[in-house]
Amino acid sequence: MGWINFKGKSIEEILKKFDPEKKATANKLRTIVKKTLPDAEETIKWGNITYLYNGKNLCWICAYQNHLDFGFFQGAKLKSPLLEGTGKGLRHIKIRTKEDINEKEIGRLLRETAGLSANETI
């Protein structure tokens, strides 16, 4: 189970490296973010698809060999049985197929974390 580099300098470059199932899953997640938070900015940070809200890091899509991580920069402040992780701030959801996506819960988490980002001071 070797490591595979899915990072890129553009969204198109990243998605080109994905197999069809992983690409469809990533695109479904991208659609959920755009539908839930139309003002979120889609960009590349650290070689991964990343979303900013009000100029602040919101969430990311990061690919691994057997799954995608859909992560939240302020995930430790969120509550959901889908979230994994134990660090000070970050939490993520492991998604292996499109069918694993809980659109309603991910939408709720996006709205909640956007509220946290909007109220965060620098």
The domains located in the chain, with CATH, are 11-119 (3.90.1150.200)
Q: Are 48 and 7 in contact (CB under 8 A)?
A: yes
1 pLDDT band (50/70/90 cuts)? very low
CB 25 within 8 A of CB 98: yes
Instruction: Return the pLDDT at 121.
Output: 47
Q: How many whole angstroms separate alpha carbon 41 and alpha carbon 13?
A: 18
Q: What is the pLDDT of residue 76?
A: 96
pLDDT band of 2, cuts 50, 70, 90: very low
The answer to whether the beta carbons of residues 57 and 45 sit under 8 Å apart is: yes
Q: Mean pLDDT throughout 27-42? A: 97
This prediction's pTM: 0.90
Task: Answer yes or no: are the C-beta atoms of 69 and 49 closer than 8 Å.
Answer: no
Q: How confident is the model at residue 118 (pLDDT cuts 50, 70, 90)?
A: low
d(CA 26, CA 29): 5
What is the residue type of 18?
Answer: F
Residues 69-93: what's their mean pLDDT?
96
Q: Which two tokens stand for residue 9?
A: 């300098």
Q: How do beta strands 41-45 and 68-72 pair?
A: unpaired
Mean pLDDT calculated for residue range 78-101: 95
7, burial (CB in 10 Å: exposed 0-12, middle 13-18, buried 19+): middle
pLDDT (0 to 100) of residue 5: 76
